[in-house]
Chain A
Amino acid sequence: MREELNGILGWVDQLNEVDVTDVPPMIGTGLAMPRQREDVVTDGDKREAILSNAPDRVGPYFTVPKVVE
């Protein structure tokens, strides 16, 4: 896979030819209007839905192998 990755990287290197001086990075199409939600609790209290796909759970919790801190 390393060889393929190098191939892909070599291929994308052609972008170095492009003069991007003073060009801003594109962030979105500029069409959507900035939008913010109201500070109202509209969600939550759906523990069973949240846990319904858990590959391993104990009671109300997800689990992972013990993390030693």
Chain B
Amino acid sequence: MAPGRSNIKRKAIEEYHLEANGTEAVRTVSLVRYYKLGRSVIPAVDGVSIAANRGGFVALLGASGSGKSTLLNLIAGLDRPDSGAIVVEGQNLATLTSAELAQYRRHTVGMVFQSFNLVPKMTLYENVELPMRFAEVRRRERKERVREALERVGLSDRMKHRPSEMSGGEQQRAALARALVNRPKILLADEPTGNLDSKTGTEIMDLITELNKTLEMTVIMVTHERSLAERYADKLVFLGDGKLLGETENSKKRTGELVR
């Protein structure tokens, strides 16, 4: 590791501690992630500092190639920054070993993707059980937890079905159940409605909002649909060419009864 890089990290953490107010679940500090394409270096995330409050709902907005997905992957611990810090619940992900990062992915965050990413050869039950295998949850407890998660997303009667036998909306609900099963504090969603029609998309968004409310999960969602973000998120973060363009508290957020 270059000495410059570790200095930046240390500086970033100091900065964080200065700014930390105890209510933040996630904070990134001067986060940088480059991609090498041939000889040119493309900054996918270029000095981004953002924060998400506990129990908050943050939408990362931007055109494709704006670096929003890269930012989400960094927060998810799937990718490592070239410099800067990602502090989640007091842990700086940039300093974790690969095993510690796996541990973090297991227990602290749950992820859903645009393309659902269920394992096609496994049944719904097995897909939801999978994260608990890595988290070494006892077998006796697993059944109960799978049932609970599937109940929450309304798929209790589809346990034996394979992803190919389910609709897109059902698959995304299954993915949400899978993201919940290890009881993480943070839900990361990468274009969760991108592959769904608007009606199903609304259902999924309602479900995510419900998790945000009832389980007090912090939600960070990547989307390119501003209207969707404005409808559900309480904070909007705008990204362009890897840079933070601005962030606003969302005053237009829909309130009132959830629609099923």
Query: Do A and B originate from a single complex?
Result: no
A interface vs B, CB < 8 Å?
A: none
Binding site for A on B (CB under 8 A): none
